[in-house]
Amino acid sequence: MHITTRRAIMILAVLGAVLLVGCSSSKPPVETEPPAAPAPTPAPTTEPEAVDEEEIVTPETAEPVVSEEDVIEELPEDLVVLNARGYLKDVFFDTDMYELREDSRSTLAENANWLRKYPSVLILVEGHCDERNTREYNLALGERRANAVRDYLVFLGINSARIMTISYGEERPFAVGSNESAWKLNRRAHFRITAH
């Protein structure tokens, strides 16, 4: 085979690989078989029940919108167990605010005490918002919330090198609903143990 032909084949192979990488999604598909065609939906015989939009949602009754796999992502099993035990408590914020409330400061003091007992633990502070406002606004607000929590933990004596922050804005709500009882649970900073 001539050198020119080899080069042409190599260039085509590289271009093909670049196109495949550029077109592939960031997550592999879950399904291995094509989905079956959906069955036709029968016509309802009765009127659907009215949904009360002001249903009270509490941390005990709220169901997370995000699946456990999404939340846990790639954590090793021992970290999944640590996070499931809930050693670090979430803190909550008022609407459009990132200043820490008095109850949040108390919660952070408890979290700092636990972190002092386990100095090898590293954490991720996630900033979250309710669904109102634009995506960009909520991402910025979530970042301010996560940073406010990190700064207060540092003020309480926790080494800043142990704390990473991220903002999810409105993308990962904890409570389902378009009412204040859901929104107040989604305006939060959530803790995730990332190493111990």
Give the single-character DSSP code of 124.
E
Band of residue 7 on the pLDDT scale cut at 50, 70, 90: low
Is residue 7 domain-resident? no
What confidence tens digit (pLDDT) does each residue in 10-31 have? 555 554 444 444 444 333 333 3
Please report, for the domain that includes residue 76, its CATH number: 3.30.1330.60
What confidence tens digit (pLDDT) does each residue in 156-166 have? 999 999 999 99
What confidence tens digit (pLDDT) does each residue in 60-119 have? 444 444 333 444 456 678 888 888 999 999 999 999 999 999 999 999 999 999 999 999
- Domain hosting residue 110, numbered range: 68-195
Residue tagged 């670049």 (tokens): 18
Query: What is residue 195's predicted lDDT score, i.e. its pLDDT?
Result: 92
* CA dihedral of residues 18, 22, 25, 29 (deg, nearest 10): -30
Q: How far apart are CA 29 and CA 21, in angstroms?
A: 15
Is residue 11 domain-resident? no
List, in order, residues 6 or more apart from 138 with CB less than 8 Å away: 129, 169, 170
Percent above pLDDT 70 for the chain: 62
Is residue 1 domain-resident? no
Is residue 39 domain-resident? no
Q: How far apart are CA 192 and CA 93, in angstroms?
A: 18
